[in-house]
């Protein structure tokens, strides 16, 4: 059995309540997606080791928690939490929540097509556009899987990641070790808002699934602008209309997100929007359905 079949079989056993969507997911994959999923599944086997079942259980945890938040979002039209302090108390400061959450999030890279599309975008539409010998920063690497792509890219000369969470940095370190990354990766406990000092600059910055966790998204984008070299590029991956136990900021639509990024001193180089349930972008925006948004931006000369 290959890695993908092995994980899919165990996931079906652990998640009979999600078997229909899990089977549909595999049936709808293109051959190119299957190749990427097989590669990611191989990495997940190494990361999870003998704990694979608990990663599959983490997937149940995340689906159940997101469903509860979705019902609340349908009633109120807003995310439940408003402050970082609430998210810290209810999620970040509770290992019994964080562990299944991060493990489940890792499994969504396989089972949620919008997450797989975001991985594909990073790999094929972002990294190849960076210059030879590029320097790279990831903000909020969490489980660490995304960082493995620049880490395994021979064109990447230096690699760094910042996270405010000690446990996330440990997860990232373990992940890179288990998937056999032997190069130097500078992992720093550092708040992204410190980027505003502009002392460290990078050719490429990955800012994936972090913006929606922040109270001050504009301040964050302006800070990251200072951490780009003059021709550097920022890849933002953020979900729209995606209620979760620790999400604070909802960009709501493609146009509002692009306006926000532009207003922070960036030119938009490219963007892609992946609605979660196979709806069109227009349907997803009109009905406030989840969309994974990817935006590549370069800083401009605007005086902010
Ligand atoms: C949902 S995880 C994202 C994991 C991964 N990047 C992905 O796309 O799946 C969010 C991560 O951002 C980190 N984070 C949140 N606020 C941050 C801040 N102000 N500065 C740096 N990291 C932050 C969290 O600790 C967590 O590890």
Average confidence score pLDDT of the chain: 95
Which DSSP state fits 155?
T
Q: Which of 82, 111, 140 is the last residue of a domain?
A: 111
On whether the CB atoms of residues 239 and 210 are closer than 8 A, the answer is: no
Q: What does the pLDDT read at residue 26?
A: 93
Residues 117-164 have pLDDT tens digits of 999 999 999 999 999 999 999 999 988 999 999 999 999 999 999 998
Residues 279 and 140 grouped into a single domain: yes
Residues 289 and 148 grouped into a single domain: yes
Residues in the chain: 304
Residues 239 and 294 grouped into a single domain: yes
Q: Give the three-class secondary structure for 231.
A: strand
Q: What does the pLDDT read at residue 269?
A: 97
- Residue from 97, 213, 217 whose mutation best tests the ligand 1 pocket (most atoms within 8 A of CB): 213
Q: Is residue 119 part of a domain?
A: no
Q: What does the pLDDT read at residue 61?
A: 98
Q: 125 exposed, middle or buried (CB, 10 Å; 0-12, 13-18, 19+)? A: middle
Mean pLDDT, contiguous 10-residue spans, the chain (304 residues): 95 97 93 94 95 97 97 96 94 88 94 93 96 98 93 97 90 93 94 91 97 97 97 98 97 98 98 90 96 97 82
- The answer, yes or no, to whether any atom of ligand 1 lies below 6 A from the CB of 141, is yes
Q: Is residue 80 part of a domain?
A: yes
Distance CA 72, CA 39 (A): 36
Residues 10-34 have pLDDT tens digits of 999 999 999 999 999 999 899 989 9
pTM of the model: 0.95
Owning domain of residue 83: 3-111
Q: Is residue 271 part of a domain?
A: yes
Distance CA 297, CA 126 (A): 11
| Total domains present in the chain | 2
Q: What does the pLDDT read at residue 95?
A: 85
- The answer, yes or no, to whether any atom of ligand 1 lies below 6 A from the CB of 148, is no
Distance CA 229, CA 159 (A): 15
Residues 145 and 17 grouped into a single domain: no
Residues 16 and 136 grouped into a single domain: no
- The answer, yes or no, to whether any atom of ligand 1 lies below 6 A from the CB of 208, is yes
Q: Is residue 39 part of a domain?
A: yes
- Ordered strands of the 266-275 beta sheet: 186-189, 156-163, 134-139, 202-208, 228-240, 291-299, 266-275
């Amino acid at each position: 059995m290959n890695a993908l079949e092995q994980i899919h079989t165990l996931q079906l056993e652990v998640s009979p309540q999600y078997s229909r969507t899990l089977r549909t997911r595999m049936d709808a994959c293109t051959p190119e997606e299957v190749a990427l999923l097989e590669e990611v599944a191989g990495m997940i086997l190494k990361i999870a080791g003998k704990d694979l079942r608990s990663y599959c259980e983490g997937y149940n945890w995340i689906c159940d928690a997101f469903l509860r938040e979705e019902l609340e979002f349908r009633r109120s039209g807003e995310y439940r939490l408003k402050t970082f302090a609430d998210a810290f108390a209810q999620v970040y400061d509770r290992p019994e929540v964080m562990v299944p959450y991060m493990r489940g999030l890792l499994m969504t890279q396989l089972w949620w097509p919008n997450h797989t599309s975001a991985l594909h975008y990073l790999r094929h539409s972002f990294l190849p556009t960076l210059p030879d010998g590029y320097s790279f920063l990831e903000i909020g690497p969490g489980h660490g899987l995304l960082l493995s792509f620049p880490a395994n890219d021979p064109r990447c000369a230096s690699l760094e990641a910042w996270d405010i969470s000690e446990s996330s940095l440990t997860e990232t370190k373990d992940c890179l070790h288990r998937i056999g990354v032997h190069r130097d990766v500078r992992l720093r406990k550092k708040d992204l808002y410190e980027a505003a000092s502009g002392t460290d600059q990078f050719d490429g910055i990955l800012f994936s699934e972090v913006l929606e966790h922040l109270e001050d998204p504009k301040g964050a984008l302006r800070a990251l602008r200072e951490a780009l070299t003059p021709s550097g590029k920022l890849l933002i991956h953020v979900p729209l209309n995606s209620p979760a136990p620790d999400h604070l900021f909802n960009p709501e639509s493609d146009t509002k997100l692009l306006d926000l990024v532009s207003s922070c001193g960036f030119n938009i180089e490219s963007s892609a929007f992946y609605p979660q349930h196979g709806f069109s972008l227009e349907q997803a925006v009109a009905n406030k359905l989840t969309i994974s948004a990817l935006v590549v931006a370069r800083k401009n000369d605007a005086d902010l």
